[in-house]
Amino acid sequence: MTVRTRFAPSPTGLLHVGNIRTALHNWLWAKKHGGTFWLRIDDTDAERSEERFVESIRADLGWLGLTIDGEERQSSRFARYEARFEQLRAAGRVYPAYETQAELDLKRKIAAGRGLPPLYDRAALALTDADRAALEADGVRPHWRFKLDHDAPIVWDDLIRGPQRFDAKTMSDPVIRRADGSWLYMLPSAIDDAEMGITHVVRGEDHVSNTALQLQMFEAMGATPPAFAHEALLTGSEGKLSKRLGSLGVAHFRDSGIEPEAVRALLARIGTSDPVEPLVDTAALVAGFDFSRFGRAPARFDEAELAGVNTRIVHQLDFERVAGRLPAGMRRAEWEAVRPNLTRIDEAAEWWRVIEGPITAERDPADAAFLAEAAAIAATLDWGADPWGTLTAALKAASGRSGKALFLPLRRALTGLDHGPDMKALLPLIGRDRAIARLS
């Protein structure tokens, strides 16, 4: 079996972190098994779907490094849905229902008042042909429901949740088509998964009951269902479902200086028994991805943890990966010197200003003679060797200073700061003339 997964967003808005996690896990599973990862645009809702969101979805997946192997759009498959619908209708597995929304709401309230579950009572199945003709003559257009088989238990072995069992008698026949002829999610998705050859569906645990319903749809169509993995939902750092998670997407991460490698590294592991590691190479994430490592507890997404992972990722990025985002003139040597002090790549510009100058440095009057002597020694150094080591050794011998008293005044004079990159690497980049001028 060739593994084929899909990511199926609706283009009615921007992707958020929960969507991104779902896409990543589908991609990782496909890549681990040498399979393919498809993008399916679920744009049956013509009124709310927008092309700009389709373009944004593609761009976001590209930024994350989740290459797609093929793309489908539901809006181009209406003929397939119609054909399957007619087959199911002929087989008695879909039927028209004429209740208005207000009538359905009233039925649910009555059931709740009697302490009963809010199940559809299948009243539409009791209508005669004459009843239906009379309703339609009065201008009532039906919506359509899928008729569940109440005699067949719904069972499957979920890749994360383990054995699952639902009793169809406890579920309402789902509405699959509105009165205006437009499609709801359930049937088109099942048709697409069957006809696209999807072998595995990875999605949130809020879809578990949908899966139970769709398994009967696969059976009614004579199609082999995919395997399912239902993940625990993401929660915020406070441990609760958070509205903020719905606003965190690629644009937010990019604007915050977060690298795609950091997003992948965190979202691949949270919710599992594996530690989050700052893995730059996706091959390591792919090799270690396993649904048996996922737990049932909610997966906690913490922006502070993401920032920490990002820092460790930045410290691994080579010059070629970041060159186009560095200040003009900044070379490999400067990047490698300042990289250990960065939490974001754009912070390299601050250190480039330290190297290039001009800088503002506060001086302790007590250090004036010491710094003057440093400037004189700096003028005699071989700057092609180890100017920092030679300078500090000579100053230590001449002044008797050591430790903080030796190094801190030099760092302040040369960089204007009390902290920063290793001066052994930084001083050659500042260069002879600038160094002498700053020490003087």
Is residue 238 very low, low, confident or very high in pLDDT (cuts 50, 70, 90)? confident
What DSSP state is assigned to residue 47?
Answer: T
What digits encode the pLDDT tens for the residues 273-291? Answer: 999 999 999 999 999 999 9
**Across 239-244, average pLDDT:** 70
Q: Which residue has the higher pLDDT, 187 or 101?
A: 187
Using CA atoms in the order 334, 339, 341, 343, what is the torsion angle rounded to 10 degrees?
A: 130
Report, at the CATH architecture level, how domain 243-314 is classified: Orthogonal Bundle (1.10)
pLDDT of amino acid 293: 95
Place of tokens 């302490």: 115
**Across 245-271, average pLDDT:** 95
Burial of residue 268, with CB atoms counted within 10 A of its CB: 0-12 exposed, 13-18 middle, 19 or more buried: buried
What CATH code is assigned to 4-72+185-234? 3.40.50.620
**Pairing relationship of beta strands 94-97 and 70-73 according to DSSP bridges:** unpaired
Length, in residues, of the chain: 440
Is residue 237 very low, low, confident or very high in pLDDT (cuts 50, 70, 90)? confident
pLDDT of amino acid 20: 97
Burial of residue 58, with CB atoms counted within 10 A of its CB: 0-12 exposed, 13-18 middle, 19 or more buried: middle
Mean model confidence pLDDT for the chain: 95
Whether 239 shows a pLDDT value over 80: the answer reads no
Is residue 241 very low, low, confident or very high in pLDDT (cuts 50, 70, 90)? low
pLDDT of amino acid 378: 96
**Poorest-confidence range of 44-48, 340-344, 376-380?**
44-48
**Across 45-57, average pLDDT:** 95
CB of 29 closer than 8 Å to CB of 289? yes
pLDDT of amino acid 240: 67
Is residue 244 very low, low, confident or very high in pLDDT (cuts 50, 70, 90)? confident
CB of 302 closer than 8 Å to CB of 267? no
Domain 80-177 in this protein, CATH class: alpha beta
Is residue 243 very low, low, confident or very high in pLDDT (cuts 50, 70, 90)? confident
**Across 256-278, average pLDDT:** 96
Cα four-point dihedral sign 419, 425, 431, 436: positive
Name the H helices within 91-207.
Answer: 101-113, 129-137, 186-195
* Percentage, residues of the chain above pLDDT 90: 92
Cα four-point dihedral sign 360, 361, 362, 365: negative
Whether 17 shows a pLDDT value over 70: the answer reads yes
pLDDT of amino acid 189: 98
CB half-sphere exposure, 71, CA atoms < 13 A: 13
Distances from the Cα of 70 to the Cαs of 34, 36, 192, in angstroms?
Answer: 15, 8, 13
Residue 422 token pair: 């290793």
- List strand residue ranges (DSSP E) for 11-104, in order: 36-41, 70-73, 94-97
pLDDT of amino acid 162: 97
What DSSP state is assigned to residue 129?
Answer: H
pLDDT of amino acid 67: 97
Whether 396 shows a pLDDT value over 70: the answer reads yes
pLDDT of amino acid 261: 98
